[in-house]
Amino acid sequence: MQNIQDIQGIRLLIIDDEVEFAATLCRRLQLRNIDAVDAHSGQEGLERLAEVKPHIVILDLKMHDMSGLDVLEQIKAYDATIEVIMLTGHGSVQAGITAREKGAFTYMIKPVDLSDLLIKIAEAVIK
Amino acid sequence: MKGQQLRQQQMASLGRLLADFSHEMRNHLAVMQEANGLLQDILTMQGDEAPPFVASLKDTAAQIGKRVRTCADLCQQLSSMAHRADIPYASFSVNELLAELVVFLERSARSQQVTLQLELGQRICSLSSEPALLQYILYQLYVFSLDRMSKGQTMTIRTAQTGETVLISFCLAGVEKTGVTQTDWAALSAIVLPALSLLESQLEAVEQTEANELDCFEFRLLVPVDGF
């Protein structure tokens, strides 16, 4: 298990059109000294990549404007070193397999315990 | 054939609707969990000098968190179950299918004070069949069984494999074999027969062994491993 110190100071972008979820998760990560920023659509998330320069992106699979898988492809095309953790309420195993095939670091089903998410973030950082 | 196709399409539609519902529920639960988590974070930041009500709020937040996780687990099971109807034919684990189903059956057993046990056999081959149809049969068998049980009795659902067949047995401990009449059995058979026929499966009552001192009515569903 990774230590939370490993991930303090990293830059993280949350892309999720569930505004309350993204904003609250962002606040909780900031309380743990993670430089987290939230975006509330696929397009907004892609536009903020250059500004935020994230090490990690937390990305929703289903958004109103774009599919999370399409956003994932564009993130990887922009910078293949950015690790992407997919989050979704969708229970299909196939969706997770497809996300991994397209380069996602991992796939987690909402709601996620913050402690589990922090472990995945730490694993992605040291990858 | 058209009737069967229509039924499969109806099941697929219902499966997608339920899966979407479950997805939506989990999004709301995720918002609740994060909001509750933030509240817990803020309460924890109050430190040792915090007024006494902070401890009470922490307990309340912990209770909310526990219930949200339980709801999320139920939604996950509902989603898995619903996705089984998405694809009419699939290769699937009968143990997983039963475990999902039992999550939703436990409550009705509990309210009747019947104990529901699941004993899943090891090394059981995946079935190539119609998972939603098998779910339907198992549900009907469960309802039939529960209707004949009373307070303090135990229903055990077991899985095992013999050759190219998976056995799913329902053992109703405390229910005498004579307590299930021919009429009951015929009524159950009539309900599940069309589905059994589509899965090329059989339903049979099991003879009670002399060694078993406890009254027990047992029946088995025999499902071929390859139902395609």
**CA of B94, closest CA in chain A: separation in Å?**
17
> Which residue type does A84 have?
V
- pLDDT at res. A10: 92
CA distance B42 to chain A (A): 9
Q: Please give the residue of chain A at the shortest CA–CA distance from B25.
A: A89
ipTM value: 0.84
Residue B212 has pLDDT above 80, yes or no: no
Of B38, B69, B79, the CB nearest to A27: B38
- Give the pair of three-digit tokens for residue A33: 């000294």
pLDDT band at B18 (very low <50, low <70, confident <90, very high): confident
What pLDDT was estimated at residue B155? 95
Cα B30 to Cα B227: distance, rounded to the nearest angstrom: 39
pLDDT band at B228 (very low <50, low <70, confident <90, very high): low
By Cβ distance, the residue of A21, A62, A90 closest to B34 is A21
Nearest to B37 among A20, A28, A90 (CB): A28
Nearest Cα to Cα of residue B114 among B70, B145, B159, B158: B145
Would you kindly state where each structural domain of chain A is located, as residue ranges?
A: 4-126
When scoring A17, A38, A90, A115 by the number of chain B Cβ atoms within 10 A, the one with the most, hence best to mutate, is A90
**pLDDT on residue A1:** 43
Instruction: Report the pLDDT value the prediction gives residue A4, as an integer from 0 to 100.
Output: 61
Q: How far is CA A61 from the centre of its chain?
A: 10
Fold topology of A4-126: Rossmann fold (3.40.50)
When the pLDDT of each residue in chain B is averaged and rounded to a whole number, the result is 87
β-pair partners for A14 = A38, A58
What is d(CA B69, CA B61) in angstroms, rounded to the nearest whole number? Answer: 12
Report CB contact under 8 Å: B25, A89. yes
B121 three-class SS: coil
CB distance A76 to A82 below 8 Å = yes
Q: Of the candidates B25, B27, B38, which has its C-beta nearest A28's C-beta?
A: B38
pLDDT for position B41: 94
Q: How confident is the model at residue B20 (pLDDT cuts 50, 70, 90)?
A: confident
Q: Quick one: tokens of A115?
A: 């402690």
Q: Where are the beta strands (DSSP E) in chain B?
A: 90-92, 115-119, 127-129, 154-162, 165-173, 202-206, 216-224
Q: What is the pLDDT of residues B92-108, one digit of tens each?
A: 899 999 998 999 999 99
Output the CA angle B188-B194-B198, nearest 5 degrees.
130
Comparing CB atoms, the residue among B27, B37, B79 nearest residue A18 is B27
- Which H or E run includes A124? helix A114-126
Q: What is the pLDDT of residue B227?
A: 58
A–B: how many Cβ contacts below 8 A?
A: 68
Q: Is the pLDDT of residue B58 over 70?
A: yes
Give me the sign of the Cα torsion angle A55, A94, A67, A32: negative
Contact assignment for A24 to B38 by CB distance below 8 Å: yes
Q: Cβ contacts of residue A12 below 8 Å, gap of 6+?
A: A29, A34, A35, A36, A37, A54, A55, A56, A57, A58, A121
State yes or no: pLDDT of B210 exceeds 60: no
Q: Quick check: B80 contacting A, CB < 8 Å?
A: yes
pLDDT at B213: 60
Confidence band, pLDDT 50/70/90 cuts, at residue B207: low
pLDDT value of residue A80? 95
Q: Which residue has the tokens 């090394």?
A: B123
Instruction: Give chain B positions within 8 Å (CB) of A61.
Output: none
Compare all CA atoms of chain B with the CA of A62 and give the residue at the minimum distance.
B23
Q: What is the pLDDT of residue B206?
A: 80
> Which residue of chain B comes nearest to A63, CA vs CA?
B27
Exposure string over B126-154, b if 16+ CB within 10 A, otherwise e: ebebbbbbbbbbbeebbebbbebbeeebb
Mean pLDDT by 10 residues, chain A (127 residues): 67 96 96 95 97 96 92 96 89 77 93 94 90
Of the two residues B18 and B38, the one the predictor is more confident about is B38
- Give the H/E segment covering residue A38: strand A35-39
Among A61-70, B141-150, B163-172, B204-213, which stretch is predicted with the lowest mean pLDDT?
B204-213
